[in-house]
C-alpha cells in the first residue's frame, strides 16, 4: 500500500487493520508525521507538532496490539486537535500572540483524554484565528492557513487548521470547535465532514459562560462513518459543563432511516436563510443533493414559512461577548492582536445591555421556531454556506463577501449565514460535501436534525455519501 493510499484510508478501516495486525501503528504514524512535515510549509495548518510524543505513543500502541491487550475503537489512529484545547505538557495559544509564552497545560482537556482512552494518537495542535473570532484562519501569531484544494483560498475558520489537515491526508480525524459555524464552515471549504453536535452531547470545558453557551466541540473527518465513531468516543457527561452534566442520552436512529427507502420521511429545504444570495454552482449542487434524497423516496419540500434567523441579534451576542471577554488584554496587547479581533470588539462594545438582553430573548424565539419546523419535518437541508472558499487574502474586518460578483455584506451575512442559527438553537448540524464549484473548490450541504438526533443527521449524511460519493477525491499534495 502506498503512503498516499494509507493516509487517505478511513479511520475505521485503519483501526480494523491495526487490530488484525495488518497495519503497524508505528508505520502509520510515521507516514502521517512525514505528510505533516511535507504539507506544513504549504498549508501552515499546525501551531505545534508533537512528533516525538506521537512516535512514543505509536510504539506503545504497537506493543499493546502484539501483547493482546484490550484495544479502543481508535487504537493507533492519528488525530489532530485544534489549539483551543489543553493537551498536557504543551501550551494552549488560542491563535494569539498573547499566549506566545504560555506555560504548558497541566492536564488534558476531557475530549483529549477520551481520544487517548480510545487509543488515538495525537500528532499536533492545529491553527485557528485569534480566539476563533472569524471565519478565516489567519492572524499575526502564525500567518495564513491555506486550502489544500487551492492555496490562494482560505481553509475557512475557525477550525481551518483541522479541516486542512484532514483534507490533505495528514490525519483522518480532527477535533474542531464551533462557536458560530467554525466546524461546518471549514469542513465545507475543504471538502470534509464536520459535525456540530447537540448542545451538551460533547462537553465543552473551554466555555467561559457555560450556561449561555453556544460553542461546541465535534469531529472533522473524511467520511461520515468516521465522524460517527469519533462522536461516540467524545460524547458523554462531564461535570464542568452544565449542559453535558445532565444531558439526555442520544436519540436512537429513527425507524424511517434504518433502510435506504426513505418513503414517509419529510425533509424541509432552504436555499437561503439570512443570506441575500447563493452562488449558482452552490445552488446546483444543493439541488442535486435534494434530488438524491427524493430519489430515495423522501418527501423533499421547500420551506416557505418565514423565519427570523436573528442575523443582527446574533451579531450582538457574538461581538458583545468578545468585547467583554478580551477587554483585559487590550492595554498590553492591542497592537499585537488581529485587527479583525479589535474590530469585532469595537462593534460589540457599542451594543447596550438592553440590546444584549433582547438578543437573548430572540435566541429563545429562534429555538422555538426551529423546534416547530422539526415537528413538521424529520430534518432540514440547506447549503452550508453561500459560495466556495473566499480568497486567503480576504480582510474579514472590512471586505464584503461577493457572491457571483454581487457584494452581500460581511461574512456572517453574505457567506456563513446558514451556520450560526443552529449554534444558538443547539440542534445538531452536519456539513457534508455536496460536490465541487465552477472554481474546482468543494461545496457543502448542511443537515440539521432534532435535538439529540445526531444518529439521524449522520445517517442522512451517509446515504448522501453513498449516492454521491466524495471521499475518493484528493487535493493536490506537496
Catalytic residue ranges? 82, 158, 182
Pairwise CA distance, residues 349 & 308, whole Å: 24
C-alpha to C-alpha distances, 33 to 2, 50, 104, nearest whole angstrom: 15, 9, 22
Tell me phi and psi for residue 56, to 5 degrees.
-65, -40
Residue 325 CA to residue 322 CA, distance in Å, equals 5
Q: Rounded CA gap, 123 and 49, in Å?
A: 6
Q: Are 187 and 194 in contact (CB under 8 A)?
A: yes
- Mapped onto helix, strand or coil, the DSSP state of residue 83 is coil
How many Å apart are CA 261 and CA 275, to the nearest integer?
Answer: 33
Omega cis (within 30) before 464: no
Matching residue, cell 467583554: 324
d(Cα 226, Cα 220) in Å, to the nearest integer?
Answer: 9
Name the residue among 440, 462, 432 with its Cα closest to residue 191: 432
Kindly report the number of other CB atoms within 10 A of residue 98's CB atom.
18
The C-alpha cell at 48 is: 505545534
Amino acid at each position: 500500500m502506498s503512503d498516499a493510499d494509507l493516509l487517505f484510508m478511513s479511520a475505521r478501516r485503519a483501526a480494523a487493520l491495526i487490530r488484525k495486525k495488518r497495519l503497524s501503528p508505528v508505520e502509520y504514524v510515521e507516514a502521517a508525521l512525514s505528510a505533516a512535515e511535507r504539507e506544513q510549509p504549504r498549508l501552515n495548518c499546525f501551531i505545534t507538532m508533537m512528533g516525538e510524543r506521537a512516535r512514543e505513543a505509536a510504539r506503545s500502541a504497537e506493543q499493546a496490539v502484539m501483547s493482546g491487550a484490550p484495544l479502543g475503537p481508535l487504537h493507533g489512529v492519528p488525530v489532530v486537535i485544534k489549539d483551543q484545547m489543553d493537551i498536557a505538557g504543551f501550551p494552549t495559544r488560542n491563535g494569539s500572540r498573547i499566549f506566545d509564552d504560555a506555560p504548558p497545560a497541566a492536564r488534558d482537556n476531557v475530549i483529549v483524554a477520551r481520544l487517548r482512552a480510545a487509543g488515538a494518537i495525537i500528532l499536533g495542535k492545529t491553527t485557528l484565528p485569534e480566539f476563533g473570532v472569524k471565519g478565516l484562519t489567519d492572524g499575526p501569531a502564525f500567518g495564513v492557513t491555506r486550502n489544500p484544494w487551492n492555496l490562494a483560498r482560505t481553509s475557512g475558520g475557525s477550525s481551518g487548521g483541522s479541516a486542512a489537515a484532514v483534507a490533505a491526508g495528514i490525519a483522518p480525524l480532527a477535533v474542531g470547535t464551533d462557536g458560530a459555524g467554525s466546524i461546518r464552515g471549514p469542513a465545507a471549504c475543504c471538502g470534509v465532514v464536520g459535525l456540530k453536535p447537540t448542545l451538551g452531547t460533547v462537553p465543552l470545558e473551554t466555555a467561559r459562560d457555560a450556561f449561555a453557551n453556544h460553542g461546541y466541540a465535534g469531529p472533522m473527518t473524511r467520511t461520515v462513518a468516521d465522524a460517527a465513531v469519533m462522536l461516540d468516543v467524545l460524547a458523554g457527561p462531564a461535570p464542568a459543563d452544565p449542559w453535558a452534566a445532565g444531558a439526555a442520552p442520544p436519540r436512537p436512529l429513527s425507524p424511517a432511516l434504518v433502510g435506504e427507502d426513505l418513503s414517509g420521511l419529510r425533509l424541509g429545504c432552504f436555499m437561503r436563510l439570512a443570506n441575500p444570495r447563493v452562488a449558482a454552482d452552490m445552488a446546483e449542487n444543493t439541488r442535486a443533493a435534494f434530488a438524491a434524497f427524493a430519489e430515495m423516496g423522501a418527501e423533499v419540500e421547500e420551506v416557505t414559512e418565514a423565519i427570523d434567523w436573528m442575523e443582527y441579534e446574533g451579531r450582538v451576542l457574538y461581538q458583545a461577548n468578545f468585547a467583554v471577554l478580551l477587554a483585559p488584554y487590550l492595554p498590553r496587547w492591542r497592537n499585537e492582536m488581529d485587527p479583525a479581533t479589535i474590530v469585532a470588539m469595537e462593534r460589540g462594545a457599542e451594543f447596550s445591555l438592553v440590546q444584549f438582553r433582547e438578543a437573548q430573548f430572540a435566541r429563545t424565539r429562534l429555538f422555538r421556531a426551529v423546534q416547530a419546523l422539526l415537528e413538521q419535518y424529520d430534518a432540514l437541508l440547506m447549503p452550508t454556506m453561500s459560495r466556495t472558499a473566499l480568497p486567503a487574502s480576504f480582510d474579514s474586518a472590512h471586505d464584503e463577501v461577493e457572491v457571483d460578483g454581487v457584494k452581500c455584506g460581511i461574512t456572517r451575512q453574505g457567506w456563513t449565514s446558514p451556520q450560526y442559527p443552529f449554534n444558538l438553537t443547539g440542534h445538531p448540524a452536519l456539513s457534508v460535501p455536496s460536490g465541487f464549484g465552477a472554481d474546482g473548490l468543494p461545496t457543502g450541504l448542511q443537515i440539521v436534525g432534532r435535538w439529540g438526533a445526531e444518529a439521524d443527521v449522520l445517517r442522512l449524511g451517509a446515504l448522501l455519501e453513498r449516492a454521491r460519493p466524495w471521499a475518493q477525491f484528493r487535493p493536490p499534495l506537496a
